[in-house]
Structure 1
Amino acid sequence: MPARRTSVPEARRRVLAVLHEWGAAEQVRDDAELVVSELFTNAVRHTDSEKVDCELTVLGAFLRVEVTDQGRGGSTPHVQPGSVDKECGRGLFLVGALSESWGVRPDPTGRGRTVWADLAYGSPTAH
Structure 2
Amino acid sequence: MAARLQDAFHFPALNTSVAEARKRVLAQLREWGIDEVACDDAQLVVSELFTNAVRHTDSEKVSCQLRLSGAKLRIEVADQGHTSTEPRARCSGADEESGRGLLLVGALSEAWGVRPDDSGRGRVVWAELPHGRLRR
* TM more than 0.5: yes
More strand by share: 2
CA shift digits 1:19-52 (9 cap, x unpaired): 0100000001000000000000000000000000
State whether structure 2 residue 46 is matched by structure 1 residue 27. no
State whether structure 2 residue 12 is matched by structure 1 residue 2. yes
Q: TM-score, normalised by structure 2?
A: 0.85
Q: TM-score, normalised by structure 1?
A: 0.91
Q: Which amino acid aligns with 2:25?
A: V
**CA separation in 1, counterparts of 2:122 and 2:109?**
22
Equivalent residue, structure 2, for 1:67: 77
Whether the 8 Å CA contact 1:84–1:93 is kept in 2: the answer is no
Task: Indicate how the Cα distance of structure 1 residues 17 and 91 shifts in structure 2: closer, same or farther if over 3 A, else same.
Answer: same
**CA separation in 1, counterparts of 2:70 and 2:93?**
31
Structure 2, unmatched stretches of 5+, are: 1-10
Whether the 8 Å CA contact 1:83–1:93 is kept in 2: the answer is no
State whether structure 2 residue 124 is matched by structure 1 residue 117. no
How far residue 109 of structure 1 moved from its aligned partner, in angstroms, is 1.3
Please report the RMSD computed on the Cα atoms of aligned residues, expressed in angstroms: 1.3
The structure that has the greater radius of gyration is 2
Q: Percent identity?
A: 65
Whether the 8 Å CA contact 1:38–1:95 is kept in 2: the answer is yes
The secondary structure found in structure 2 opposite 1:119 is: strand
How far residue 84 of structure 1 moved from its aligned partner, in angstroms, is 7.4
Equivalent residue, structure 2, for 1:83: 92
Equivalent residue, structure 2, for 1:96: 106
Q: How many equivalent residue pairs?
A: 122
The secondary structure found in structure 2 opposite 1:52 is: strand
